[in-house]
Each structure stands twice: as C-alpha cells, then as structure tokens.
Structure 1
Amino acid sequence: MRHNTQDKTLYRNYVSKWKFLIQEYELVKQKRHPKFRFAADFYRFHQTHRQTFLKYYHRFHQQGTDQALVPQKRGPKWKSRRVYGYIEQQVLMHRQQGVNRYEICQLLAPKLNHLTPSPSTVYRITQRYGLNRLTPKLHQEKRRIVKQKAGELGHLDCHHLSKDLIASDPTRYYLVCVIDACTRLAWAEVVTDLKSLTVMFSALKSFNLLHQRYQLQFAEVLTDNGSEFAAPTQPATHPFERMLLELGIKHRYTRPYRPQTNGKVERFWRTLNDDLIDGTTFGSLEEFRDELQQYLLYYNEVRPHQALDGKTPKQVNESCQRITEHIHE
C-alpha cells in the first residue's frame, strides 16, 4: 500500500502555482506583460481573488521561502491575539475577590490604559480558568471590603424623596449622601434642588461632618455622570468639580447606565427607605431633618452591618488604616 504521509505533491503544486502567478504579476506591475494591461485583468483571467493573491504575494516577499506559499493554519496567533500573562494574572487576582468583569475593567483601566482588556476578554480569561461562575467562596469574598483604608474611596449620590413625605408641604426634596467604601460611614443632607451649587455645598458639609466626628478624609470620590456632579471637559468652571480640585480629591465617574458601580450608596438608599422613610409622614421639614440626623448616628455607631462581619461602621473606622494625605478645613 502506498504511504501518503510524506507525499509533497500538493506542496509542490501550491508553490509552483503561486510562483508563476507572482512572476506574471510583477510583469503587470512593470507594464511589460504582453497580455494584461491592468491587474484586474490578471485576476479575472487566472480566476483568483485580489485579496487572496496579495496575501500570498506579501507573505512571500516578507519571508522569502517556499513555505510562505502554502496555506497556513487558521485561527488566532498566540503572540498577536492573546493578552499578556501579567494582565491575565491581574484579572484572575480581582476575580478571586469576587469582582465582576465590568468592575475588573474599571479597576485595570488606570494602570493599563490602552492595554485594558474588554469585558468579553475578561470573561474568556475567567472561563479558561474555571472562574466564570462565582462559587460560594467567591460570593463570600465579594462581601468583603474592597477598599482597605478609610477614606480611600467615597461614594456620592442624590436621592429623590416623595412629595407627600412632609405633611401639608408639596415641595419636592432631595437627599445628597456620602458613604465611605471601607468603613460604610455615611452622612446625608436634605436639599431643595439638585443644582450643582446646592449639591456642592451639601457634599462639602457632609465631608466636614465626617471629618470632625470620625476623622474621615477622602482621597477619591465616585459619582455618576449627572450634570450636578460631572463636567469632565471643564472641571474648573463647575462648582462640584472645582470643590474637589480645591480639596485635592480625585473625581471618578461610574460607567454610564450602570448604577451597580456605585452600589454601596444605592444599597444605603434602600436601607434608609426601609428603616426611616417608607410609610412615614413627617410634620415638618425640621422634624424630618432631626429624624434623619438621629438615624445617621444610629446607622454609623449602633447598627451592625452584615458586610462588616457584624461590626458597626464606627468600630471598623477605629481599627482600620486611613488616608491622611488630604485634610479638609
């Protein structure tokens, strides 16, 4: 029986075919071919696609070997398509902390810049290592404090209150809240509108109260992209952005249409509604402000938190490391 594994017939046919076509093409380019005036006529006569021919033509001129004229293995190449190993390790490190793919991209972006993998790439990496689904252990890790220092990151958001919250007062009121990512210390102020100047003063008051009572100072603040917070192109002319510049606080923005990025403060709104607001009507705005202040003290100093292993935010604040680079006057 004939042994065909070492048969080079196909190899020789490919090489001879493409070498002949390359010689013919060179004559066409030099306008010396006796039959073809244009390259299009050359492609049409030999029944070859322009893109296919140029692929072999350029490959042959780059490599200069007969092997370049033989069909290559299809599919992505390791060095050109796969992310670097150190990036994979960072993705896996964050995933083992229970962080989802969108949050991983946001955490890596400041360090990797244009090398930051997309969410789909992060998913493929976690799938390759069997981490695409959170195990009970990873779910538990997710509940742990991502930020390890008090003041490392503050979450800031606005909340709309119901018009019937204050008896005989149809005015719409709002809340502006700041909550620390590490300790969960929180403070909120009642405002009558969400103009940037109003939000700036209420946020500054919250910063000062948290600093005076809990010695809490923020290095970064995370907000959504609302007009009351954000003016990335001209921060010096926006009241809230200018305040952060003056205090030396870095401003970070959430991913558009994804409130989960600011999840800690969103969870605080739910807790506040369940414990204080839902089903309650207050006699006056002053009464509501007093009740809110009492609840915030209870929330920070008495109420145990599941995310803090049953401790209060004040207890965690007293025992953890803190950011000391920024001082609010």
Structure 2
Amino acid sequence: MRTHNKQIITAAVHGSMNTKAAAHHFNVSERWVKELVRRYAFEGEAAYEPRSKRPKTSPHKTPEATRERIIFHRKYLTANGLDAGAETIQTLLETEGIQPPAKSTIHRILRQTKLVTNQPQKRPKNSLIRFEAALPNEMWQSDFTHWRLADGSDTEILDYIDDHSRFLISIRAYRRVTGRIVANQFTEACEEHGRPQSSLTDNGLVFTTRLTSSHNKEQPAKNQFEKLLQEWDITQINGSPNHPQTQGKIERFHRTLKLWLQARPRAKTVAELNQQLTEFQRVYNMERPHKAAGRKPPYVRYTATAKAIPKPLPKDERRIRTDTVDKDGKLTLRYGGQLRHLGMGRTYSGVPVRMLIDDRDVTVINRKTGEIIRYFKIDPTKNYQKGISSLNR
C-alpha cells in the first residue's frame, strides 16, 4: 500500500499526469488521487503511509470503569471457586447499578485480558434436551460424591437439591454414606423444607435395591430409603443404568461444589469439612446467582411459588421368598433395609418354608405340606418379630 500511494503521488505531483489521468492509470478514483496530493502538501512523505480505518471516537466503547469491574469480578469469583462466566458477571454489574454490556462483549474483554480461553470442544448448548420440574419440591435429586481430607483419607458428601430451583436442600459429609444415613438425612430435610413429590437418584444400593440380583429370583426387598418414600407417598424415580445424564443437575452441582472446595484449604477432619459445606450452602443458596433461577440466587426461586406436595400412591409390596427355618427356630427377612428375625420356634427347625410377603404382613407356609404355620406383622422398630400361630389367628 505504501509503494502504491508513493507511485500515485509521484505521477500526479512530479510527473506529467493530471489527477484524472493518474486515477485512470492506477485504477483508483480521481477523488482518492486528490486526497493523496492534499496529504502530501501538508505532510510530505508521511502521506505515503496507509491510514487506519478505525474511527477516531468509539461512542459504544465499554467505559474503562466497567471494564475494571468485569476483570475484578472474574478474578474474585475464580479465586473463590464460583461460577465466573459472562452471565454471572453481567448480573453482578446490575446489582452494583452499572449498565452491563452484552455477554459477548464481556466475554471478549475477558479474552483480551487472557482471563478466559475459547473451548470449541464443548458440546453446543442448543444440542441439549433439558427437563425441569415446574414447581419447588416437585422433585429432589440426590447423590453423593467423594472428597479427600488433608491427610488423603476419603469422605463421601451426600446432598439433595431441588430440581426446579437448584436450591440446595441438604448437604453433609460422612466417612461413608449408608442406607440409614440416606434415610435419616432425607427425613431431616423433609422436616425443614417439606416432603417432595418425587425423588430422583441413580441405582446405588443406598437408594434402591431394584437391580439387586437374588439367588431365588424373588423380588428384592425395599431398603430403608425406599420404604420411607413409599410410606410418605413420594414417587421414586431411578435413572437408567450407565446413563448419568439423567441426574445431570446433581452432577453439574458437584462440579460447582468441588471448584468451591478447591479454592479453600483442605479440611483436616469431617467436622471441619462440614463447616465448609455449611458456608457453601449459604453462599450457593443466598448469594450466588444461578442461570436456571433467572440469574437470581436459588433461594429466590425456591420461595417464589407454592411447593408441590406428595400425591397418594398405592401401598403394594408383594413378594415371595423361600427359606429353611434355622436350628434356633428362626427365619430372616429384609424389611426397610434391615434384617428382621422371625421367631418360628425350635419345633420347626429345618422345615422348608415359603414366605408370602405383603408389605408388613408375612404368611409362612410349609413347602412340603402347604400348611400355613405362622403369621407375622412386621414391627419396623424391632429386629426380632414374634409370630402368630395359624390356630390362633
């Protein structure tokens, strides 16, 4: 471009060509030739250099003060293990009374300052099919994840979130999550926030026994959590095996949780970790804006409308189990996630039996004679169950 401008100026100023002839010869407009001649008269050889087409003023340029707040929020959120995307920063600017630029502008500023990099490998958002409960407490998702303490020992963090609002219902760390712990924490959560209409979990044994294989091909007994859901008319939903996308919200939540924990010193004990989780629950529910909650903290959406409540469900758990009375005159039966001992009496030691189980009602039949020999009404508060003779029924 410099050489071309110099040739035009030389031909029109020092040569024999007028502006019209120079324009025709160099295939440019006559107006451009006149402009180059004018520049040469005022600037000399500087007129040879190409000029930037950038406008002298940028009326739509993001104010420097706004740029500084964008950079501040990005660094602060990242350092604290919180979501630091353009939408979150946009929301925080609004809360400060600053007119926020478009998300694309915020993202461009972050790229210019090397605070973010493009991730073309990420799946496009429009390719996802999303489901969301219509009301708070319509569905709770639950799962547990692992986290190591400062000494390298493992813990398990159990949590429940509301599908509609992403409100963190309950979160707690343990050395190991058991079926009893799942039921107890769920009970406490229901006492504080009300009972959900449905529960969504994976197929872990602490949540369901539905995929448990049985030697006698009988239907497996429900565990303590399943019995609790049944008793409270809460619909139980389990994701498809090897398909974690069904519990996508809780999986995404665990990423958020771990980013927050990684930004802090490793807890030395389970108690110290639970203190951190209590603080995280407060920040997550009350302060951190969430996209699914309209860029408001989850608490705002969770409390904005009336909560869903459970609907009556059929109380039906019929199954058949075969066994042999042991030498002490007892049978064993799993109910509510615990083994129950059924007292048959030593008279029946070694007798092969069939148990007809209808929720808490158990009828014991002699497999050889077909005789009904005992009835039981399971008491969930006791391990040893006393039976009723068929003659006394």
TM-score (normalised: structure 1): 0.50
Instruction: Name whichever structure is richer in strand by fraction.
Output: 2
Point out the structure with the larger helix share. Answer: 1
* Bigger Rg over Cα: 2
Greater relative contact order (CA < 8 Å, ≥ 6 in sequence): 1
Q: TM-score, normalised by structure 2?
A: 0.42
